[in-house]
């Protein structure tokens, strides 16, 4: 479950970056064009990410190094002169911090476990070590981007030097070529549209036949009020306004204009939310313009008090104070109150739960597991 959520974050980051790349090069290529319609010689990636899948220890060792690299990269890219790249980085640095923390805990846990887990964790760290240096290898593209104020250098001492490794110069291992050749020649579109119902024109969202007082109640509700009351598809007890996903909404010249910000880069709920907003617009005879804005990055500070209370009533612990700045030295332990019994003697089982925005915890008093909305 945790690795699935990590993958979802990485996929969301890749979609945003590939879409922007297609816009910058003037070719008009989409994220699918860049992801699916290239052969292996056109892929530029470090060797670490293309190694064959190993055991759990190997995957945690690989994730630990890759997430550490991404944390450093995205932290520096938040000051990029490219506003889209800076926006993606601002959100991604929060996500990759959780990835690094998750991997770090598992590496320590396995290393301090049984003799067998210690041996396999040590072997995994040795196995990935040859591919670590390449992560911080500033190639010619990185140097050019940094000089333009768009990118950053992770190894300034070697700026301008020839890249020491071949991954970013399209030198790939045989198994990576086989994977690239196995990619489908057409994008794998999700079998269902954003609203989760079979395709069929507007039938999925057509309102029920009006009747009596219901019609008056519908017409009396403004499109802005309806948009604010759209429930979050993943946590339907709170609205997109309560979560802080809804940033702006207005109606002018017959068009409903809405700005939304995803909680996480790979949040699958955004397509469904967009579809619901367009449905509201159609119902009121309006056009719809929905903008997904990445910067400033979403934070749990935007969540309303009503939303936090709704989460607690539903059995999900609301987010606490978000981490930021230097970690303060304290002898106290962060307390998360169990939404079932109200006890504060709880423990974290996993940094990731059913969705990337929640962690899995258990109460030591009532022994009930519960989810916690992570503070970011």
Longest distance between any two alpha carbons in the chain, whole Å: 75
Among residues of the chain, what percentage have pLDDT more than 70?
A: 79
Of 342, 354, 194, 176, the closest CA to residue 260 belongs to 194
| pLDDT at site 296 | 87
Alpha helices in 284-345 (DSSP H): 305-314
- pLDDT interval class at 136 (50, 70, 90): confident
Mean pLDDT of 10-15: 89
Per-domain residue ranges for the chain? 2-181, 214-292, 307-373
pTM (two decimals): 0.66
pLDDT in tens, 227-276: 999 999 888 899 999 999 999 999 999 999 999 999 888 788 888 999 99
Of 42, 71, 264, the closest CA to residue 152 belongs to 71
- For 210, which DSSP code? P
Phi, psi at 53, each rounded to 5°: -65, 135
The second-level CATH assignment, the architecture, of 214-292 is 2-Layer Sandwich (3.30)
Supply the CATH classification number for the domain 2-181. Answer: 1.20.1260.10
Would you call 338 exposed, middle or buried from its count of C-beta atoms within 10 A (0-12, 13-18, 19+)?
A: buried
């Amino acid at each position: 479950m945790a690795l699935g959520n990590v993958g979802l974050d990485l996929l969301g980051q890749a979609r945003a970056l590939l879409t922007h790349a297609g816009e910058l090069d003037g070719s008009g290529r989409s994220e699918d064009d860049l992801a699916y319609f290239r052969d292996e010689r056109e892929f530029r990636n470090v060797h670490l990410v293309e190694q064959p899948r190993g055991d759990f220890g190997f995957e945690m060792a690989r994730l630990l190094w890759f997430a550490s690299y991404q944390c450093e990269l995205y932290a520096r890219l938040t000051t990029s002169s490219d506003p889209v790249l800076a926006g993606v980085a601002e959100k991604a640095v929060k996500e990759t911090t959780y990835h690094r923390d998750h991997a770090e805990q598992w590496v320590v846990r396995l290393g301090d476990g049984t003799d067998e887990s210690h041996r396999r964790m040590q072997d995994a760290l040795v196995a990935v070590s040859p591919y670590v240096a390449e992560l911080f290898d500033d190639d010619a593209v990185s140097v050019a981007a940094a000089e333009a104020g768009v990118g950053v250098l992770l190894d300034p001492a070697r700026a301008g030097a020839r890249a020491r490794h071949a991954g970013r110069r399209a030198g790939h291992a045989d198994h990576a070529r086989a994977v690239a050749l196995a990619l489908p020649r057409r994008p794998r579109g999700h079998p269902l549209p954003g609203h989760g119902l079979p395709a069929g024109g507007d039938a999925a969202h057509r309102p029920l036949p009006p009747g009596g007082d219901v019609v008056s109640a519908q017409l009396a509700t403004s499109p802005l009020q309806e948009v604010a009351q759209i429930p979050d598809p993943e946590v339907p007890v709170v609205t997109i306004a309560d979560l802080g996903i809804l940033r702006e909404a207005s109606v002018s010249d017959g068009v409903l204009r809405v700005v939304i910000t995803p909680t996480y880069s790979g949040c699958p709920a955004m397509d469904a939310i967009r579809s619901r907003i367009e449905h509201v617009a159609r119902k009121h005879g309006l056009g719809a313009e929905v903008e997904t804005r990445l910067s400033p990055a979403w934070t749990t500070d935007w969540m309303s008090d009503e939303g936090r209370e709704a989460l607690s009533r539903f059995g999900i612990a609301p987010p606490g104070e978000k981490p930021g700045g230097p970690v303060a030295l304290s002898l106290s332990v962060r307390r998360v109150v169990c939404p079932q019994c109200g006890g504060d003697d709880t423990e974290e089982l996993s940094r990731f739960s059913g969705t990337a925005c929640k962690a899995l915890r258990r109460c030591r008093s009532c022994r009930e597991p519960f989810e916690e909305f992570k503070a970011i």
